[in-house]
């Protein structure tokens, strides 16, 4: 079994949440399934801007419950 995926969710502002995802596949699925824009923050391995390692997705209030359930069911 591969590296454990990590997801964290926190309130970003009055209208949005940030969801931290470490799986590129899960990130792509969430973006596609919930019609979200590209990630708000991209993290890279050891300062190497070639290899993305995790992402913070911005999720509106109206979708956060569905996104949380999707992540729980698919991680």
- Chain centre to alpha carbon of residue 44: 14
31 in a structural domain = yes
pLDDT tens for residues 23-57? 999 999 999 999 998 778 999 987 778 889 999 99
Query: Whole-number mean pLDDT of the chain?
Result: 88
Domain that holds residue 40: 7-74
The number of folded domains in the chain is 1
54 in a structural domain = yes
59 in a structural domain = yes
pLDDT for position 8: 92
1 in a structural domain = no
Alpha carbon distances (Å) from 13 to 10, 27, 72: 9, 21, 23
Predicted confidence (pLDDT) at residue 17 exceeds the cutoff of 80:
yes
Full-prediction pTM beyond 0.75?
yes
Predicted confidence (pLDDT) at residue 12 exceeds the cutoff of 70:
yes
């Amino acid at each position: 079994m591969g590296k454990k995926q990590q997801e964290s969710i926190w309130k970003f502002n009055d209208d949005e949440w940030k969801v931290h995802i470490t799986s590129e596949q899960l990130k792509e699925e969430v973006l596609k399934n919930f019609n979200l824009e590209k990630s708000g923050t991209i993290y890279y391995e050891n300062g190497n801007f070639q290899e993305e390692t995790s992402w913070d997705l911005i999720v509106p209030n109206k979708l956060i419950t569905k996104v949380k359930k999707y992540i729980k069911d698919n991680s």
